[in-house]
Amino acid sequence: DRDWDIYSFHINSTVTSRYATTIITSRVANWNDQSQEIEFHVKIPKNAFISKFKMTIEGQTYDGVVKQKEEAQQHSVGRTLEEFKTSVTVAALSKVTFELTYEEMLKRRLGKYELLIHARPMQPVADFKIDVYFNERPGINFLEITGGLSTKALANAITKTHAFSEAWVHFYPSKEQQSQCDSCGEQGLNGDLVIAYDVHRNTSKGDLQESEGYFVHHFAPSDLPRIPKNVVFIIDRSGSMHGRKMEQTREALLKILGDLAEDDHFGLITFDSSVSTWRKELLPANQENLEAAKSFARHIRDRGATDINAAVLEGTAMLNRHPQEGSVSLLILLTDGDPTTGETNLEKIHKNVKEAIGKKFPLYCLGFGMDVNFDFLEKMALENSGVGRRIYTDSDAALQLQGFYEEVATPLLTDVQMIYLGGANLTQTNFNQYYNGSEIVVAGQITDNNIEMFTAEVIAISKSNRVMYSDTLPMEEPIEARSNSHIQRLWAYLTVKQLLDKEVQLSGKAKEKVKKEALDLCLKYGFVTPLTSMVVTKPQGEDSQVAHKPKEGEKPTRSSQVLFGSRVQFTVPQTRVH
């Protein structure tokens, strides 16, 4: 039994304009008659940035400071979470309070936002609380709670209150209940609380909000006809895809083919050291073609090496030969390895693909498993207006693949231009495609805070015609006219995320410039990102590094002990309680 006791563990989350700020506070007592090391170990969502950390011991507070990262640290990242770990020596019969704050913009996927809170204090806690407060001006359409902590024994520990634009979720399990959930036990809670919600969308033009000279525009119209798509699936069948990966890929592909709409056109390419096309041209997704394609998919076998270059260029050529009028084209690549044959120079492949696609359609790169060169795939996707996504080799890999496909299954707009008169320092404003269930978010500053002159305009192409939406800032006071800097922080968060994506694609001076821009914002807003780390100054005055943010592309270090996040020690003067 431990001689230290977590007597209070609180997680407090506030979500406004889809921007979540979460504070984890852990209070620990050392009941031992000698000093000992006490650990604070939590998991936070991968997309979040830590923005504050402090420890209070004997009434003395030690604040973390965000500084430029000295050297690249190697860490490993979990599927949806990253770890943060630190420890401190606490005197006999003394107490310590740890407080960690992190922030994230919730991204809309398949028609909802998800706030994920992970709780694993490592022991049952007498005073355990999760409190979440939502304040969404357009109004909350629905709110549902899932995740391992919402099951069976713990269901009655949750209360949910929902007014029009506000909602509260409280999770107060008793000490007994904390050992009763699916993955809980003697060590207390271990699991996630996932709160999914969406807001009302009464107008197509979206939701425009302003605060203290910053604005955010959430744009997600749904009352539009779907645009037919031309999609080519490029499937890796090299030897490493053997077994379960290949089975899951076939399973997902069969399901995806079944979900294609009749006016869609599709192609299938499989590759190892050679590239095979199911048919030379794209075919309409009618019953007959789909049955033939499914039969082809059932017989994909793994063998050989990996020629990514030739496969992607063949897919690009197929789309280029197909008429694009009135439709949307996309390429989806699924691979689990590095290019090992044909063109294997990564820079050359990037160059070839970028030239061939020529900004005409997006390339989505799905990296299967942990052996894939994720940085290479992500850069290739980002350079061609797509995204890189990792598919984890878990039992639900087929569902992950289908889930990704669903996100891009229903294009509603193309060539979306977001125009802000009287706006400056804008985040990304041009988007190739907008898919149903997703959302376009733009944030920026309002020049001279001149709200009267500020207008937002969206110009895009829908299935049948060119559409235009325009909006001005609403003048009525929000529910609480409190000073809320969250829109400014949302702007900073989104800007940093986009600069980090941009930096991946650049080299030389341009890369350094973007890196510096991102770093300056991280330092100003206190974000821990791949460019910064959190430093806590000890009483002795020397620095200890605390938190690093790992990059998705990093492979875990192959040492016997893999540290997630990081570990740091700092000692404070020994003071006894008299």
CA 106 and chain centroid, separation: 8
Do residues 547 and 522 touch, judged by C-beta distance below 8 A? no
CA 413 and chain centroid, separation: 23
C-alpha dist (Å) from residue 496 to 170, 208, 379 = 32, 21, 17
Alpha-carbon gap, residue 412 to 323, rounded angstroms: 19
Alpha-carbon gap, residue 444 to 105, rounded angstroms: 15
Find the helix or strand (DSSP H, E) in which 495 lies: helix 486-505
Residue 129, beta-bridge partner list: 10
Residue matched to tokens 């539009």: 224
What pTM was computed for the model? 0.90
- CA-angle at 215, arms to 213 and 217, nearest 5°: 170
Residue 577, beta-bridge partner list: none
- Nearest alpha-carbon partner for 363 in 327, 323, 314, 290: 314
Do residues 324 and 230 touch, judged by C-beta distance below 8 A? yes
Q: What is the pLDDT of residue 475?
A: 57
Which amino acid appears at position 399 of this protein?
Answer: L
Alpha-carbon gap, residue 90 to 467, rounded angstroms: 63
Q: What is the pLDDT of residue 558?
A: 32
Residue matched to tokens 């910053």: 214
C-alpha dist (Å) from residue 172 to 30, 149, 169, 176 = 24, 11, 10, 11
Alpha-carbon gap, residue 542 to 535, rounded angstroms: 10
Backbone φ and ψ for 508, nearest 5 degrees, come out as 65, -140
Q: What is the pLDDT of residue 273?
A: 93
Alpha-carbon gap, residue 237 to 308, rounded angstroms: 11
Alpha-carbon gap, residue 114 to 107, rounded angstroms: 8
549 secondary structure, DSSP code: P
C-alpha dist (Å) from residue 11 to 42, 93, 102 = 11, 25, 11
CA 415 and chain centroid, separation: 24
Sorted by where each starts, the structural domains of the chain and their CATH numbers stand as 4-200+526-571 (2.60.40), 229-409 (3.40.50.410)
Do residues 328 and 461 touch, judged by C-beta distance below 8 A? no
- Tens of pLDDT along the chain (578 residues) come to 467 899 999 999 999 999 999 999 999 999 999 988 888 999 999 999 999 999 999 888 989 888 898 754 544 456 788 888 888 888 889 999 999 999 999 999 999 999 999 999 989 999 999 999 999 999 999 999 999 888 878 888 999 999 999 999 999 999 999 988 777 888 899 999 999 999 999 778 889 999 999 999 999 998 899 999 999 999 999 999 999 999 999 999 999 999 999 999 999 999 999 999 999 999 999 999 999 999 999 999 888 899 999 999 999 999 999 987 889 999 999 999 889 999 999 999 999 999 999 999 999 999 999 889 999 999 999 999 999 999 998 889 999 999 999 999 999 999 999 999 999 999 999 999 999 999 999 999 999 888 888 999 999 999 988 888 888 877 554 444 444 689 999 999 999 999 999 999 999 999 999 999 999 999 999 999 999 988 876 555 445 656 778 777 665 433 222 223 333 333 333 333 33
Residue matched to tokens 């590239």: 275
Alpha-carbon gap, residue 232 to 318, rounded angstroms: 8
Q: What is the pLDDT of residue 471?
A: 81
Alpha-carbon gap, residue 564 to 554, rounded angstroms: 12
In the structure encoding, which two tokens stand for residue 10, read together?
A: 């609180």
Find the helix or strand (DSSP H, E) in which 471 lies: strand 466-472
Q: Where are the beta strands (DSSP E) in 17-92?
A: 19-30, 36-45, 49-57, 60-68, 81-90
Tell me if residue 259 falls in helix, strand or coil.
helix
